[in-house]
Amino acid sequence: MWVAKKCVFLQIKNLKKSMNIKLGKIDYRSLDRPVIFLYGSDVASRTLPLKRDEVLFLDQRRKDDISSLVVFNRLPEKIYVQNFDSDMPSNETLEKLRKFAAELQLLLCKEKVEKVFVTGEGVIPEEVVAFVEGLHMASYRFDKYKSKKECLLKEVVLEQHIVEQAALDENVRLWQRIDSMRNWVNEPVMQLNAERFADILKEEAEKVGAVKCTIMGQKKIESMKMGGLLAVNRGSVDEARFVVMEYKPADRINKKPVALVGKGVMYDTGGLNIKPDDYMTEMKSDMAGAALMASTLLAAAENGLRVWLRAYLPLTDNRPGKNAYAADDILTMYDGTTVEITNTDAEGRLILADAIAYASKDDPELIIDAATLTGAAVRALGTKVAAAMQDGAEGPLNLLRILGGKVYERLAELPMWKDYDELLKSDVADMINCNLHANAGTITAGRFLAHFAHGCPYVHLDIAGVAFYSKRESFYGVGASGFGLRLLYAFFQMYDALI
């Protein structure tokens, strides 16, 4: 135990710095780094220093394939011209540019390029920002435990007239938050248990400022009678934590807080209903919901968004052993509801139920939760889109869906009808935690949680399919994706549209 804790402390301090992104001016006559040129127009370029035959070549390549990459050698540097169609600026075009950036990043990596210049023609600021966003996200690696690290981009200079400094700074702070969120999710449980994660959140809150962070320990959780969190924690050798963060700016636009609840299962073995064969692998990512909600609040604070937010983060791992909770156990939850356990692997909804009930007592105007909750969500929707449900929060979910299309972190809505409640009936308690033999696993999990919102407008996000990728997924890379942070940030940027 002592060794593990010591190790955690040393390693987490060892995080590398994020990519440096700044504005500057390019001089083609004395290039000190390669240039990435985003070419969105069909009119012959006026800024690229090309010879006549090169212009013709570029034109032809562009005609053959509007998404082509053309490389001009200006030894010792290169000019990478990324063609695309800027005629119809759309969500799809922006996503395409992020993906181009991910492909180009692989190439730059191979060529050991550490610094680039980004500019373009026939391109709008939004498109350049999307491209640089892709470049930043694709350049993330969780490589702190690797002795030999890949060569990665360290510095991007953006042509100065293209984007405003303030807008760039806001984006860069958000992208750095995505890096830090991904680091938390990628960290194994031996390095990052509930206690340590809670401490890190407090340290982050202090660093950012304007954020209050309260850590409730085992004793406090016991005295509050959070039956769900306590039951899941029983098999663990580590203590549970319940973290509440608050960002309450003076110029806030909302009169009541928005509650952000995140599933913080530091590792999900399944508990006594232990996960078979390789189903357990990657379950260090079962705290991605908590990482996402904490990061959303911190990003809002860092950028001075005018929204009052509270994050509620129940943290524990789920293990067999010790006096682990078992199927057939009956729990009394924080709000007094009794729950019959049918499977200890449906643990997320138990810790979330307590946190949602606790949050609902603070009278929030909206509760949003994010959780890697069900394998059923992955089966239904795959790994491109998150599942979303709402109870009394049609407006907020509609806005989230529209913005999901814009930042391309998309949501697919599933119904949240009361009809499904009959699948959660228990013979001996108020509810069962899951009906193993029933279909609609994602919806019943959502219905289970909605019970604990006690009538507060409620949005549920099941991010099981998108939080962590076992195979490389474009600019999201491999491992923790950071999915959801750009979406929730955009939501709170636009939050006044709901008021």
Task: Write out the catalytic residue numbers.
Answer: 275, 349
The entry of Zn ion, ligand BES, none near residue 375 (CB within 5 to 8 angstroms by kind) is ligand BES
- Give the strand pairing for 386-391 and 411-413: parallel
Q: Does 228 bind ligand BES (CB under 6 A)?
A: no
Using CB under 6 A as the binding rule, whether residue 346 contacts ligand BES is answered as yes
Phi then psi for residue 37, to 5 deg, are: -115, 115
x/- letters, 142..181, toward Zn ion (CB under 5 A): ----------------------------------------
Single residue of 50, 378, 412, 429 touching ligand BES by CB under 6 A: 378
Which CB sits closer to ligand BES, 139 or 383?
A: 383
Q: Which partner, Zn ion, ligand BES, none, binds residue 369 by CB below 5 to 8 Å per kind?
A: none
Query: Which residue among 286, 340, 354, 369 contacts ligand BES (CB under 6 A)?
Result: 286
Taking alpha carbons only, the member of 203, 241, 213 closest to residue 355 is 241
Residues 261-300 that bind Zn ion (CB under 5 A): 265, 268, 286
18/429 Cα distance (integer angstroms): 50
Please tell me whether residue 375 binds ligand BES under the rule CB under 6 A: yes
Give the binding range for ligand BES (CB under 6 A) out of 103-111, 143-151, 306-314, 433-441: 433-441
Residue 320, preceding peptide bond in cis (omega within 30° of 0): no
Minimum distance from residue 424 beta carbon to Zn ion (Å):
17
Of these, 345, 354, 409, 462, which contacts Zn ion (CB under 5 A)? Answer: 345
- With CB under 6 A as the contact rule, which of the stretches 34-42, 47-55, 135-143, 343-351 interacts with ligand BES? 343-351
User: Coil, helix or strand for 265?
Assistant: strand
Q: Please report which helix (H) or strand (E) contains residue 316, including its range.
A: strand 309-318
Helix (H) or strand (E) holding 4: helix 2-12
Q: Which of 258, 315, 464, 490 binds ligand BES (CB under 6 A)?
A: 464
Residue closest to ligand BES, measured at CB: 375
Cβ-count burial of 388 within 10 angstroms (0-12 exposed, 13-18 middle, 19+ buried)?
buried
Q: Is 147 exposed, middle or buried (0-12, 13-18, 19+ CB in 10 A)?
A: exposed
Contact partner at residue 302 from Zn ion, ligand BES, none, CB < 5 to 8 Å by partner kind? none
CA atoms within 13 A on the CB side of 219: 0
Does 133 participate in binding Zn ion (rule CB under 5 A)?
A: no
Q: Are 88 and 54 in contact (CB under 8 A)?
A: no
Please list, residue by residue across 430-439, b when 16 or more beta carbons sit within 10 angstroms of its beta carbon and e when fewer do. Answer: bbbbbbeeee
Which string of x and - marks every residue 227-266 that binds Zn ion (by CB under 5 A)? --------------------------------------x-
- How far is the CA of 149 from the CAs of 16, 112, 395, in angstroms? 11, 12, 46
Q: Is 59 helix (H, G, I), strand (E, B) or coil?
A: helix
Query: Considering beta carbons, is residue 118 or 231 the nearer one to Zn ion?
Result: 231
Q: How far is CA 395 from CA 308, 352, 389, 398, 447, in A?
A: 18, 23, 12, 5, 19
Minimal distance, residue 445 CB to ligand BES, in Å: 7
> Applying CB under 6 A, does 479 fall inside the site for ligand BES?
no
Task: Tell me the site size for ligand BES, rule CB under 6 A.
Answer: 17
- Minimum gap (Å) between residue 268 Cβ and Zn ion: 4
Which of ligand BES, Zn ion, none does residue 170 bind to, with CB < 5 to 8 Å depending on kind?
none
Interface stretch with ligand BES, choices 218-226, 309-317, 328-336, 366-374 (CB under 6 A): 366-374
Query: Is residue 315 a contact partner of residue 287, using CB atoms and an 8 Å limit?
Result: yes
Task: Report DSSP state, residue 115.
Answer: E
* Binding positions for ligand BES, rule: CB under 6 A: 268, 286, 343, 345-348, 372-376, 378, 434, 436, 441, 464
